[in-house]
Amino acid sequence: MPLSPRCLAAACLSLATASAGAAEGLRLDGIPDEPLWREAQVFDDFRVTSPYTLDPATHPTRALLRSLPEGLAVAIIAHQPRDVPRLKPRAGRDANVDADRVNFSVDFDGDGRLGYNFMVTLGNAIADEVISNESSYNADWDGVWEYAVHEDVDHWSVEMLIPWSVAAMRAADGPTRTIGVNFDRVLASRGERSASGPVSYTRPRYLSEFQRVEVEAYPPRGWLSVVPYVSMQHDLLGGGNDGRAGMDVFWKPSGHFQLSAALNPDFGQVEADDLVVDFEAIEVFFSDKRPFFTENQGVFDLRTPDSGRLVYTRRFGGASDHDGRASDIDVALKLNGSAAGLDYGTMAVLESDHADDLGRAFFVQRLQRELGALSLGWLGTWTDRPWLGRRANVQAVDATWRPDPRWLVSGQVLASSIRAPSASQRGTGAWVTAAFSPEARFEHALELVHFGRGLDFNDAGYQRRGSYNALSWSSLWRVTDFDDGDWRRSLTWEIEPLLHRNDGGQRLPPELELSHDLRTRSGASWQGSLVYSWEGYDDLVSRGNGVVVQEARLQSLQQYYDRPRVGNWAWRLGGTLLQEGNDGYAIQPEATVHWFPRDDLDLRLLAYPLWSQDWLLWEEGTLFTSHRRRQMRLDVDLGWYPFTRHELRLKAQWIGIETRDPTAYRIGAGGHLVESDDEVAPFTVNSFGLQLRYRYEFGPQRELYVVYGRGGHAQALQQRGDYRGLGDLFGDIGDLRDAEQVLVKLRWGF
C-alpha cells in the first residue's frame, strides 16, 4: 500500500510541481518506475557494517542516484520477504526510533570535511543530520527536502529529492562535480545495518571513506526563505503574559554563498532538555535545537579530544552575566560560502541591553582549505562581556591529514587571550590524534593533549578544563569469523590506558579501560566495560581550594543487554558497579522498556535506582562530606501520532535523592582527606520536570506548537528524627512548582 508523500522543501519545488514532472520527469511517490531511473547510477553490493562483518546483507538492497536540475534524486529499494517482521512505528522528526529505515549520506564537495544524512523509516518518519569530524552527528539541524515511501508485498522503497539549496557547497569546475555518497539500510528486527560501501561511523575514518562518484553539475537556484514567528507564553504562577514576534531569514543567491539572519529570535522551549541534578566540578553540556544555530552550523563544529567545543552556541542568548536569567538576542547573522579555494563561515550575535545589564557580543570566523590529502583550517572567536568588563579572544589552527585509507591524523594548536579588570591571562594548547586501521579486524589510536593552565575558551566555547596533559592509547580487536551456526555474529574487544598530569606536575589518577561488544545473530547485543584508576590527584573537585588524593578505585564496571523489538516490546537491562569515594561501593541497575501497542503510539519507561555507601561531595573551602545515598530516576516518554502531521508528546522526568550518615572530611597533609569534627547534615534533593507538547505541521517550515511545561526543584537538609525517604519525595512531586507555563508558537515560512 502506498504511503502519502510528504514535502519538506520550503524553497524548492512544491510536491505538486514535482509530481507534475520535474525537468527529468520525476514523480515523487516512492515507486522508482520513471524513465529517468534507467540512466541512474546503481549501488547494489550492500555489506553488513553493524556489526562490522562486511558479510553480504541478509536481504538485498538496491540504491539509485541521479542528478537533476532540482537536486539529487535518490531511490532505495529494500527487499524484505513477508515472513520478516516489518517495524514501522510512527515517530516525530529526528526521533531515535527502532524501525526499518534507509539512509542517504552525501558529501557535496567530496573532500571528507562535511556531510549530510537523510533518513526515512518505513513508518514515514524522517531524520536529518550534519556529519562533521569524520563521524560526529548533529541531529539538531533540519534541512528542507522531499521524500515518499511505498510498501509492497516483498519489498518497500523510498524516493528522495535533495535540493541543491539544502547546503552551501563549492561551485563546480565543469559540467560534473565529484561528491561522496553512502547508502545504508537498517533491518530493525535483526539489529543489522548494511551499506553500499565498507564504511561505518564506528571506525576512525567514515566521512572521508564515502564512495566518490561523478554527477552532472547544475547551478543551484537562488532562493529566499523568510520564516516569521509569533508566540505567547502565559505564566500560570505569576499570571503574566509574554508575547514575542520575530523572524529567521535564509538567503542563498548562489551555490557557494548563503546568509542566515535572525531578528529578535524566539528561543522559547518547545523541546525540553533532559533533567539534570549535578554536583560535579565540570559543567554539563547541552545540545542546541534553535533553528538559526543549527542551519549551516557544521563549518563551525571544531572539537577537542575531551568533548570540548570551540563554538558552543548555548552561550549565545544564555544565562546573562548580571542576574543569570536567559538573555535576549537582538540580531544574529551568519554567512557561509566558498571563494578563491577557501571555505568560510562568519557568525555574529548581539544580545539586548537591559537596564544595568549590557548585552554581550559574540563573533566567530572560520576558514578552511583542502590541499590534497591535507586539510587546513583556522577559527577565531571574539567575545565582549561588558557587565564583567571582560573580553576574550581565542584562535585555533587545525589540520587533518589522510595519507592513505589506513591513516587519519588530526590536531589543533590553540591560543586564548582574556582581558578583565581583576586579571588578564593568556594560554596555549595543542593536541594530536593518530588513528591507524591496518585492516577491518584492528584499529589503533594514539592521542597527545596539552592544555596550558591559562588556556580558556569558555566565553564562546565549551571547555571541560585547562592545565591538562594527557597521553592515551587505544587498540581494538574485532572477531567476525564465527560459523554460520554460531549464535554469535561479532565480538569486539578494546583496551585504552590513559596517563595524565596537570601543568603543576601533579599526576592525575591513571586509568585503564577494557570494553567488549558482543552482537548475536538475533540482533541482541551484550556490551560492557571496566574502568579502573590508580592513586593520583584530583585537582578540580575542591574548586580551587587544593588538590585531593584519589585512592585507587573502581571507576565503573558496566554490563548491558539490549534486545531489539520483538512483537510490541523492546528492552534494555543492565547495571553499573562503581566507587564514588575512597571507601565503599555504589550499584546502579538500569531498566528501559519500550512498548508499541500500535504503530501510532509508543511508550518508553526508564528506571535508574542507585545505592551508594560512600558518595563524596565538596561542600565549601576544604570541607568535604561522605554520604550514604539512595537515588531514583524515572522517565516516562509517550508519543502519539493520531493523524498525518499531528504529534502529541508527553515527557516526564523525576530525580529523587536522599542521604544519611554523613561524615565530614578536610584536606590534610599531602592532599589526603582527613576525618574532621565539622557538623554536617544529610539532605534530600527532589527534582521534577513535565512537558506536554502538541505539534501540527501545516507544511514546510509552517508549524503550530502548543506546549505546557512545569518543573520544580527542592533541596533541603534532613531533620534529625524526621528522615524523608524516596517514597516521601515522590509523593511531594505535586508540590514542586517553581515554573509552570503554557506556550503557543506559530512559525509560518514564505
Sign of CA dihedral 30, 185, 117, 38: negative
Q: Are 653 and 606 in contact (CB under 8 A)?
A: no
Which of 614, 629, 715 is CA-nearest to residue 665? 614
From the CB of residue 590, how many other CB atoms can be counted at a distance below 10 Å? 18
Query: Exposure pattern of 491-524 as b/e (b: 16+ CB <10 Å)?
Result: bbebebebebbbbeeeebbbbebebebbbbbebb
pLDDT of residue 268: 56
Q: 72, exposed or middle or buried, with CB in 10 Å at 0-12, 13-18, 19+?
A: buried
- With vertex at residue 370, the alpha carbon angle to CA 368 and CA 373, rounded to the nearest 5 degrees, is 135
Alpha-carbon span 528 to 557, nearest angstrom: 7
In the chain, domain spans: 6-216, 227-244+271-282+561-750
* Cβ–Cβ < 8 Å for 131, 169: no
- The two beta strands, 390-401 and 374-385, are antiparallel
All three cell numbers of 674: 582527613
pLDDT (tens digit per residue) in 464-509:
999 999 999 999 999 999 998 999 999 999 999 999 999 999 999 9
Rounded Cα distance between 159 and 132, Å, is 25
pLDDT score, position 269: 61
pLDDT tens per residue across span 366-413: 999 989 899 999 999 999 999 999 999 999 999 999 999 999 999 999
Specify the pTM. Answer: 0.88
**Mean pLDDT in each 10-residue stretch from start to end of the chain (750 residues)?**
36 31 71 94 96 94 96 96 92 86 96 93 93 88 90 95 88 90 95 95 93 91 85 91 88 82 72 82 86 82 93 90 84 88 91 77 95 94 94 97 94 97 92 95 97 96 96 96 92 98 95 97 94 96 94 96 90 96 93 94 96 96 96 96 91 96 94 94 95 90 92 90 89 93 91
pLDDT of residue 266: 65
> Positive or negative, the Cα torsion across 218, 219, 221, 224?
positive
CATH of domain 6-216: 2.60.40.1190
pLDDT of 17: 30
User: What string of DSSP letters covers 594-608?
Assistant: EEEEETTEEEEEEEE
State pLDDT tens for residues 637-646: 999 999 888 9
Contacts of 92 (CB under 8 A, 6+ apart): 125, 639, 641, 647, 649, 695
Q: Which amino acid, residue 724?
A: R
Instruction: Please give the Cα distance from 128 to 147 (Å, whole number).
Output: 12
Q: Which DSSP letter does residue 111 get?
A: S
pLDDT for res 700: 78
Residue entry with cell 590534497: 372
Q: Are 229 and 186 in contact (CB under 8 A)?
A: no
CB 298 within 8 A of CB 134: no
pLDDT in tens, 2-15: 343 333 333 232 33
Residues 185-207: tens digit of each pLDDT = 999 999 999 999 999 999 999 99
What is 613-667 written as a DSSP string? EEEEEEEETTEEEEEEEEEEEEEEEEEE--STTEEEEEEEEEEEEEEEEEEEEEE
Q: Is the peptide bond before 69 cis (omega within 30 degrees of 0)?
A: no
Helix (H, G, I), strand (E, B) or coil at 166: helix
Beta-strand relationship, 673-675 and 623-640: unpaired
CA distances from 564 to 124, 570, 603 (A): 20, 5, 15
Q: Choose among 170, 276, 295, 241: nearest CA to 608.
A: 276
Residue pair 553/512 in contact (Cβ under 8 Å)? The answer is no
